[in-house]
């Protein structure tokens, strides 16, 4: 997926396209943390992660976010074109200070991806959705003019899921066989009493908002083009509060 030399990576780290990018390779001592993974799709790669955050980490993120929330914005792909558009997105965002706990979460995301030296993580932000909050279908990769750098991967982390509704929907992803395994613990499941052939053709996945868990996916194909299957939305919150955490990794995409 990524190409270029070590010099390319160093040049990219100095780019002004997004000044909030961080290399996340500073020495830091982090406690051991275990999680479970479930492969949802292999192309594009989508992995569900159970217990990506510990309860203590989730509480800490809520505490340090509480007085920093501001109305969320959207961009058309041009970094200068940023605006509040409630017809697309209704939520609040908080830019997180990089204390030791936040840095350990950054490192966990880097380690999950094999410590790729060509990846840089965007500054972490939490997103708060209350009743009526949502985010319409969109891509995380840049749909604008072709650039060498792009959002290579996404972690969509649920910090708090005390809500009804608010799931994350991928309508273009094939539905897993929910008769097998633990899928219905994590996904919105329908009655699967129909024929197996019908199940094989079923499309669409909606992940439940479960605190501490996360979804990881690749945004770009090996040739650097965006996966259209990653079109996704934050479904409306009917009641309660959902708090998410975005972890976006940027890199030099192959063109």
Give me the count of residues in the chain. 255
Higher pLDDT among residues 28 and 231, named by residue: 231
Place of tokens 């329908």: 190
Tell me what pLDDT residue 196 has. 52
**What is the H or E stretch that residue 102 is in?**
helix 100-112
Answer whether residue 245 shows pLDDT above 50.
yes
Tell me what pLDDT residue 201 has. 73
Q: What is the pLDDT of residues 123-151, one digit of tens each?
A: 999 999 999 999 999 999 987 655 678 99
3-state secondary structure of 206: strand
Task: Identify any residues that bridge with 232 across adjacent strands, giving them in sequence order.
Answer: 138
Closest CA to 254 of 224, 220, 221: 224
Q: What is the pLDDT of residues 170-187, one digit of tens each?
A: 999 999 999 999 999 999
pTM of the model: 0.86
Q: pLDDT class for 15, splitting at 50, 70, 90?
A: very low
- In this prediction, residues 76-96 reach a mean pLDDT of 85
Q: How far apart are CA 173 and CA 121, in angstroms?
A: 26
Q: Percentage of the chain with pLDDT > 70?
A: 82
Domains and CATH numbers, the chain: 6-73+88-252 (2.60.120.620)
Alpha carbon 222 to chain centroid distance? 19
Rg of the chain on CA atoms, in Å: 18
Average the pLDDT over each of 10-19, 209-218, 245-254 and give the range with the smallest value. 10-19
Q: How far apart are CA 101 and CA 224, in angstroms?
A: 32
Q: How far apart are CA 110 and CA 120, in angstroms?
A: 9
Q: How far apart are CA 69 and CA 193, in angstroms?
A: 44
Q: What is the pLDDT of residues 87-125, one digit of tens each?
A: 899 999 999 999 999 999 999 999 999 988 888 999 999
- In this prediction, residues 200-223 reach a mean pLDDT of 94
Backbone angles phi, psi at 223, to 5 degrees: -90, 5
Q: How far apart are CA 53 and CA 35, in angstroms?
A: 8
- In this prediction, residues 34-59 reach a mean pLDDT of 98
CB burial readout 106-140, b (16+ within 10 A) else e: bbbbbebbeeeebbbbbbbbbbbbbeebbbeeebb
Range with the largest mean pLDDT of 76-80, 139-143, 167-171, 219-223: 167-171
Closest CA to 235 of 95, 162, 139, 131: 131
Q: pLDDT class for 28, splitting at 50, 70, 90?
A: confident
């Amino acid at each position: 997926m990524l190409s270029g030399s070590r010099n390319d990576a160093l040049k990219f780290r100095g780019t002004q396209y997004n000044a909030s990018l961080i290399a996340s390779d500073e020495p830091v001592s982090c406690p051991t943390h275990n999680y479970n993974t479930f492969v949802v799709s292999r192309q594009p790669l989508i992995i569900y992660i159970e217990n990506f955050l510990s309860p203590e980490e989730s509480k800490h993120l809520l505490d340090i976010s509480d007085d920093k929330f501001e109305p969320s914005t959207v961009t058309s792909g041009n970094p200068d074109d940023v605006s509040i558009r409630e017809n697309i997105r209704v939520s609040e965002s908080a830019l997180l200070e990089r204390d030791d706990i936040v840095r350990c979460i950054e490192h966990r995301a880097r380690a999950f991806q094999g410590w790729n030296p060509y990846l840089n993580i965007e500054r972490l932000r939490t997103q708060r959705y209350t009743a009526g909050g949502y985010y319409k279908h969109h891509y995380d990769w840049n749909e604008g003019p072709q650039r060498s750098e792009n959002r290579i991967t996404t972690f969509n982390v649920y910090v708090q899921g005390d809500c009804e509704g608010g799931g994350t929907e991928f309508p273009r992803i094939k539905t897993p066989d929910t008769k097998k395994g633990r899928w219905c613990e994590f996904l919105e499941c329908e009655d699967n009493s129909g024929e197996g052939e019908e199940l094989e053709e079923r499309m669409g996945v909606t992940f439940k908002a479960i605190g501490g868990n996360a979804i990881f996916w690749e945004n770009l194909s090996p040739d650097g083009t965006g996966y259209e299957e990653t079109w996704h939305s934050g479904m409306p919150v009917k009641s309660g509060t959902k708090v998410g955490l975005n972890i976006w990794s940027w890199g030099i995409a192959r063109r």
